[in-house]
Amino acid sequence: MSKFTEGVKALLGVSTFQKPAAGTGYDLDDPVVTRMRDTLAGGQLAALPITKTRWYLADLESAQRKADTGDIAMAAQLWSSMRSDGKIWGLRKTLSSGVVRLPRRFRSTDSALVEELEKTNDTASSFDAMFPPAELALWIDDAHGLGVAVGELCPVKGRDLPRFTRLEPEFLYYRWIDNRWFYRSIVGLLPITPGDGRWVLHMPGGVVNPWRNGIWRALGRAYINKDHALNHRSAYSSKLANPARAAVAPPGATEPERLGMLARLIAWGLNTVFELPPGWDIKLIESNGRGFQVFQDEITTSDEEATIAVAGQTVTTDGGAGFSNADVHELIREDILQDVADAAAHTLNTQGLTVFSFIRRARPDLVSIEFVTKKPKDHEAQGRTMQITANAIAQMRAALGPDGKKPNVVEITTQFGIPVLDMTPEEIAEFKLAAKPMSDTESAQQVNADTAGEVPPGRNGERGSKSEQKDAREVGPGGSSEPE
């Protein structure tokens, strides 16, 4: 075990999950695991995945029964097969990739750490280097579908920060007798210890039976029914694309004449021309063309069920900019988007960014991430709320002052969700020196004037003297005497 991993485990702890019991498998940093990964699989941890291309509803029932025993291999194989459905895969990518590309907000008492994690125009973000967006999107997709997903923080030669790698959920296994998750690797079962600096186990489906709270069961039924309906519709179309041909023989036609006409019908090729004796006729026997509707209805129903399962609503995916940030709020129901983003942020904060904090400052609790799921128009409304609240506080001070009262600023800002901080004595002194003394009435009038974009009123509460208005026109908002 490396000194880095020992230090991370000592500081982070694994209080939420118990330690591996003796004899339950190798540790991820064990020399045996490292040697076998390098020699047998070129660093790969998992074995070859199993591909299943044809699914039936009986298979879905078998996957549910196996998952309840802790084996989610079959459920994960079904989840992987659903990528062949364009509707389902498009909606899944809209959600997972949309969450990853939402605006991010990092919080820390150390501004240098936040600056390193934030992406700028000239330098790469340490967060994106440590957690590649493509890996995060696949990991979030697994977790939302199966209720559980797993990843590994892999050391990178020449770099101090590890790189997150999403692992195939097909090899996840929960052993009830140990109350513990394991990973089926090329060296056998490896016990998973989330938060140890190497494993990242994401369970938005809950700590207990997370597979029961994934959407794979609802989506699996829609996928299987749609796949069968598509196959039946294709068979129906190919069978009835060439209508049956029939020859009408006149009364008295001899058997050799009938057989000769039949032979010519069988040999009917492209642009075939017939010369028919009097009394003979050729007809096409075609279907009424309406039998396909039952298959189309099944496909439409499955698409709607899949859409509601992933997005929480029936959405239109045609037209527009596709998977841009502006559209993800419209395509995915807001509460689902926030749940997925908050769950991912919680796991990254407790099992991923703790490692970053430890490497940079030898402390695991310095940085956290939040995905901003609010729509742009919500931020605009919040800004207006803050502006109106500021005006109201100034006006209440002016109105309540004569009665010896004042508004409770802390209560008001808390009610409207406006973050405020207490000023230090030095900041208070600096503010008093910089601010021009004004009465409460003048303060309220100043705020109203700034909001309306007007010239500040004079001391007498009017619009101001002509000289004051003239000075305001000559001096621009930036202090320059030149017109704007």
Sign of CA dihedral 354, 358, 363, 367: negative
Q: Does the pLDDT at position 135 exceed 60?
A: yes
Confidence of residue 468 (pLDDT cuts 50, 70, 90): very low
More confident residue, 24 or 311: 311
Q: Does 267 lie in the same domain as 386?
A: no
**What is the per-residue pLDDT for 274?**
75
Q: Does 154 lie in the same domain as 236?
A: no
Q: Does 431 lie in the same domain as 363?
A: no
In a domain, 468, yes or no: no
| Mean local confidence (pLDDT), 182-206 | 90
Q: Chain-wide mean pLDDT for the chain? A: 78
Q: Does 282 lie in the same domain as 193?
A: no
In a domain, 107, yes or no: yes
Closest CA to 222 of 310, 142, 292, 144: 310
**What is the per-residue pLDDT for 109?**
84
More confident residue, 416 or 181: 181
Q: Does the pLDDT at position 233 exceed 90?
A: no
Long-range contacts of 281-290 (CB under 8 A, 24+ apart): 281/247, 281/248, 282/245, 282/246, 282/247, 282/248, 283/245, 283/246, 283/247, 283/248, 284/243, 284/244, 284/245, 284/246, 285/243, 285/244, 285/245, 285/246, 286/240, 286/243, 286/244, 287/240, 287/243, 289/240
Task: Give the residue from 371, 393, 408 where a domain finishes.
Answer: 371
Neighbours of 432 (CB within 10 A): 9
**What is the per-residue pLDDT for 475?**
43
Task: Give the residue from 251, 278, 303 where a domain finishes.
Answer: 303
| Mean local confidence (pLDDT), 332-359 | 89
Q: Does 271 lie in the same domain as 206?
A: no
Q: How far apart are the first and last CA of the chain?
A: 66
The domain tally of the chain equals 3
Q: Does the pLDDT at position 69 exceed 50?
A: yes
Note whether 445 and 461 are within 8 A (CB). yes
In a domain, 102, yes or no: yes
Q: Does the pLDDT at position 17 exceed 50?
A: no
Closest CA to 327 of 42, 151, 80, 98: 98
Which tens digit of pLDDT belongs to each residue from 351-406?
Answer: 999 899 888 887 766 889 999 887 655 556 666 777 787 888 888 888 888 888 88
Rg of the chain, C-alpha, whole Å: 34
Note whether 303 and 87 are within 8 A (CB). yes
Q: Does 151 lie in the same domain as 48?
A: yes
Q: Does the pLDDT at position 286 exceed 70?
A: no
Domain residue limits at 282: 222-303
Q: Does the pLDDT at position 452 exceed 80?
A: no
pTM attached to this predicted model = 0.69
In a domain, 475, yes or no: no
State the Cα–Cα distance between residues 110 and 94, nearest whole angstrom.
34
In a domain, 421, yes or no: yes
Confidence of residue 449 (pLDDT cuts 50, 70, 90): low
In a domain, 165, yes or no: yes
More confident residue, 111 or 138: 138
Q: Does 318 lie in the same domain as 299?
A: no
Task: Give the residue from 371, 396, 418 where a domain finishes.
Answer: 371
Q: Does 187 lie in the same domain as 67?
A: yes
State the Cα–Cα distance between residues 413 and 429, nearest whole angstrom.
23
In a domain, 464, yes or no: no
| Mean local confidence (pLDDT), 345-356 | 92
Q: Does 290 lie in the same domain as 313?
A: no
**What is the per-residue pLDDT for 57?**
94
Q: Does 153 lie in the same domain as 92?
A: yes
In a domain, 39, yes or no: yes
Q: Does 232 lie in the same domain as 83?
A: no
Which tens digit of pLDDT belongs to each residue from 409-421?
Answer: 888 877 777 777 7
Q: Does 291 lie in the same domain as 194?
A: no
DSSP 54: -
Confidence of residue 294 (pLDDT cuts 50, 70, 90): confident
| Mean local confidence (pLDDT), 100-120 | 85
| Mean local confidence (pLDDT), 220-245 | 82
